[in-house]
Amino acid sequence: MSLDDLDLKILALLQENAKAKLSAIAKEVHLSVTAVNRRVERMEDIGVIRGYRTLIDPEKLGIGVHGFLIGGVYLIMLDRFYTYISSVPEVIRCETIISGGKEVLLEFYCRDVDALMAFYNSDIKKYLDSMTVYLVKGVPGKDSPVSLN
């Protein structure tokens, strides 16, 4: 399904503010509210718009540690690792890197340094042959979901 320039403009406006009123979007793209609503519903139906979410500022919730972990998965099957990591509440994203061996890139949030150390020393060590943790200052993944567990 191809999208035209108006669809792309509507998507950009929704990405900027998913709670934007259709009337405001209609005014911005010079269409009727009905036409905008039809376009949004069509994009939802075909899966271009997968959903809507609330972005949370982790620092305001007292979540002070944000980082990335790169780990080597050489001795076990990735499927076992994926099953395990899906149950780890600190991890909000897992990407697989295939170059030479198998590596994973995990994005995580922890409440504090003690929670980070508990995460680092957890069962994750059973699944990864190597781990490098990078802590980031600020909120570079500002649009990433935050685990509230």
Give the pLDDT score at 60. 84
Q: Where are the alpha helices (DSSP H) in 5-140?
A: 5-16, 22-29, 33-45, 78-85, 113-120, 124-127
CA 69 remoteness from chain centre: 15
CA 16-22-27 angle, to 5 degrees, is 90
Could you give all domains of the chain from N- to C-terminal order, each with its CATH number? Answer: 5-45 (1.10.10.10), 58-136 (3.30.70.920)
Partnered with residue 106 across adjacent β-strands are 69, 94
Give the pLDDT score at 140. 47
- Over residues 24-44, the mean pLDDT reads 97
Residue 137: pLDDT band (50, 70, 90) is: confident
How far is residue 68's CA from residue 62's CA, in Å, rounded to a whole number?
19
User: Angle, nearest 10°, between helix axes 5-16 and 22-29?
Assistant: 140
Give the pLDDT score at 79. 83
User: Is 101 a residue whose pLDDT tops 80?
Assistant: no
Residue 145: pLDDT band (50, 70, 90) is: low
Give the pLDDT score at 58. 82
* pTM across the whole model: 0.67
Q: Using one digit for the tens of pLDDT, what is the confidence trace for 42-71? A: 999 999 999 988 878 888 888 889 999 999
